[in-house]
Structure 1
Amino acid sequence: MGNTQSEFKIPIQAHKKTEVESRHLQPQATMQTAEVQPQKEPGRLPTLGVFSNQKLWIDKQTGKKCLMVFARDLSITWADTPDYWRWNKVQEPRDEVTEEAELLAVCWLEAQGQYEISMLSPDTVYEILFVIMIKDPSYGWEVPVNFRLILPDGTKQVRRENLMEKPKGIWIEVPAGELRTSMRGNSGKMEFSMFEYEGGNWKGGLVIKGVQIRPKK
């Protein structure tokens, strides 16, 4: 499983999250619309827009809106501390440049985001999935990680996933939950998160690409 700590830098002092000590990278809300170009990926129509930290497109099979919320648009605890997280610039297939969040070492894992559901297609069941990679080597994933979705009415969906059992070195999708939009369209923000901080284990070797919101097939 490659669970070795020898290849990772562990900070001397363990960190704990409090209201004062917790350091978050707040989502960058700037939305800069880029020129819409033909989408070359099979099964998709041209994008509706490419934003600084999000990508929106139409799925050809369903005709419904799809969304990718990149890691930079998430609030990640300690993400602005180089000892704990590293940001890697990546060029996407359509040439836009995004950033992936690579976990080096933390014992308090928390990444969360939100989205206004009125922007989604009406009368549609959506699935919300974290797109992540477990590197090889990685370590500290003995305790399952929580994946949670909170709907605008406060309803919560929580799943626990053992990341030690996931394939290493490839992108995987881990569901946080599902949402059904109404015929006339809903309003309000849904919140999605992945977190693990009760086990107390130092962990590393995780890469977060973002969260995909797409119609369930």
Structure 2
Amino acid sequence: MPVVGAGRTRATTTATNSRRTSSVSSYPVPVRPDLIRSYSTSYRIHPSAMAAAAEGARRRETQLGDLPADCLAQAIALTSPRDASRCAAVSPTFRAAADSDHVWQRFIPSDDAQLLLAALPAKGGGGGGRNKKDAYLGLCDAASAAAVGGDGGCRVWLDRATGAKCYALSARRLSLPWDDGEFSWRFTPHPLSRFGEVAELVECTCLDIYGRLPAAALTPAAPYAAYLVYDTAAGGRHRGLSFPDQETAVSLGGRPAAHHAVCLRPDDAEARKFGGASGPRRGGGGQQVLVRQPRRREDGWWEMEMGRLRTAGGREEEQEEVVASFEALGWYPKSGLVLHGIEFRPLH
């Protein structure tokens, strides 16, 4: 039997609940900051997990050492011999690339490679089986430099740090005053000479020395200096080498590049005979002039820097010459100079 008013009761109840829900939702819900902080703290990422994730991402990135050895070798070959040696100390991967033949073949000048490498078997024996790095280091040995030309009067080797070519001209390759007789110059064997002989000045009154080298022979864009390599006769048998004025000059294609006052044999006792001094500075017409002094080399020779220059390597320089000269001013007796030659070496 149906209950009277049941439908109305359910409808009334539903409406009442709806009104309650609407009234409850209209009130603001209280916020609990303490619960929020507790929740966020409980789910915060631990620092060790973050570090592990960062390490994993770093390992997934390509590092410089992960590159193939051929790529590293190609990049190192664009540097210098000094930089390649430094790269070899970074890691085993870098060492394998930096010591490769591809790198060191590039440091050997291509224009003189055949001539230079042909001299290697005589340097330490078994040069034919060397790798390119050992071959390069062998070419940097100035004491056994390769001979250029049939007379052996020009030697060439490589500068170890830069790979630039170095040249040494023997006394026979130089222009000497009155070198057509034994009364001025005498060529004699010398145990310290890489050429086997030197030119000894017997006596002259006009002393000027010239050395010439094609500009194209020098490494382009490399700074160079010319050096006069010499000694004096044993037992003090020399004179006129301390005073008065001595000058050196360097020119490229006839254009002056450097000019200096020098003193081959500083000797105040001899200089006082001419009313001057052979120290770092001396007067001339009331003007102080800086006088360059020689230095003693490890191989026993004296050397005087004659001047500096730099070639651009352009076509206009292909037919030009580099000329380095020494001149002792004044017509007075000079003797006892033992001339080994003139060298052109890069600066670094």
Q: Among residues 303, 322, 332, which one is paired with 1:190 in the alignment?
A: 322
Q: For residue 92 of structure 1, report the CA deviation from its aligned partner.
A: 6.4
Say if 1:144 and 1:163, in contact at 8 Å, map to a contact too: no
> What is the rounded CA distance, in whole Å, between the counterparts of 1:55 and 1:164 in structure 2?
26
Say if 1:49 and 1:57, in contact at 8 Å, map to a contact too: no
Output aligned runs, 1:192-211, within 5 Å. 192-196=324-328, 198-211=329-342
The amino acid of 1:109's aligned partner reads L
> What is the rounded CA distance, in whole Å, between the counterparts of 1:79 and 1:183 in structure 2?
34
SS at match of 2:265: helix
Q: Among residues 20, 36, 39, which one is paired with 2:119 in the alignment?
A: 36
TM-score normalised to structure 2 length:
0.46
Q: What residue in structure 2 maps to residue 215 of structure 1?
A: 346
Q: What residue in structure 1 maps to residue 232 of structure 2?
A: 134
Moved beyond 6 Å, runs of 4+? 40-43
Asked if 1:175 is matched to 2:275, the reply is no
SS at match of 1:88: strand
Asked if 1:105 is matched to 2:209, the reply is no
Per-residue deviation, residues 154-181 of structure 1 (Å, max 9, x unmatched): 124221212231689x521111211112
Say if 1:48 and 1:58, in contact at 8 Å, map to a contact too: no
SS at match of 1:211: strand
Q: What residue in structure 2 maps to residue 75 of structure 1?
A: 175
Q: What residue in structure 2 maps to residue 114 of structure 1?
A: 212
**Distance change >3 Å, CA 71–CA 90, structure 1 → 2:** same
Per-residue deviation, residues 191-213 of structure 1 (Å, max 9, x unmatched): 111112x4221011101111100
Q: What residue in structure 1 maps to residue 106 of structure 2?
A: none
Q: What residue in structure 2 maps to residue 161 of structure 1?
A: 262
Per-residue deviation, residues 117-171 of structure 1 (Å, max 9, x unmatched): 1111112000011101123231123213211111115124221212231689x52
Q: For residue 182 of structure 1, report the CA deviation from its aligned partner.
A: 2.1
Say if 1:70 and 1:98, in contact at 8 Å, map to a contact too: no
Q: Among residues 135, 143, 165, which one is paired with 1:65 in the alignment?
A: 165
Identify the structure with bigger relative contact order (alpha carbons < 8 Å, sequence gap 6+).
Answer: 1
Q: What residue in structure 2 maps to residue 6 of structure 1?
A: none
TM-score normalised to structure 1 length:
0.72
* RMSD of aligned Cα (Å): 2.9
**Distance change >3 Å, CA 164–CA 56, structure 1 → 2:** closer
Identity, % of aligned pairs?
24
Asked if 1:145 is matched to 2:238, the reply is no
**Distance change >3 Å, CA 97–CA 132, structure 1 → 2:** closer
Q: Which has the higher strand share?
A: 1
Say if 1:64 and 1:215, in contact at 8 Å, map to a contact too: yes
The amino acid of 1:69's aligned partner reads L
Aligned positions, number: 181
SS at match of 1:82: coil
SS at match of 1:204: coil
> What is the rounded CA distance, in whole Å, between the counterparts of 2:346 and 2:263 in structure 1?
25
SS at match of 1:56: strand
Unaligned residue ranges in structure 2 (runs of 5+)? 1-114, 125-136, 267-293
> What is the rounded CA distance, in whole Å, between the counterparts of 1:128 and 1:80 in structure 2?
26
Q: Larger radius of gyration, structure 1 or 2?
A: 2
Q: For residue 36 of structure 1, report the CA deviation from its aligned partner.
A: 0.8
Per-residue deviation, residues 54-95 of structure 1 (Å, max 9, x unmatched): 0011122211100001110011011122112110134668xx
> What is the rounded CA distance, in whole Å, between the counterparts of 2:326 and 2:159 in structure 1?
26
Say if 1:39 and 1:47, in contact at 8 Å, map to a contact too: no
Q: Which has the higher helix share?
A: 2
**Distance change >3 Å, CA 47–CA 199, structure 1 → 2:** closer
Q: What residue in structure 2 maps to residue 84 of structure 1?
A: 184
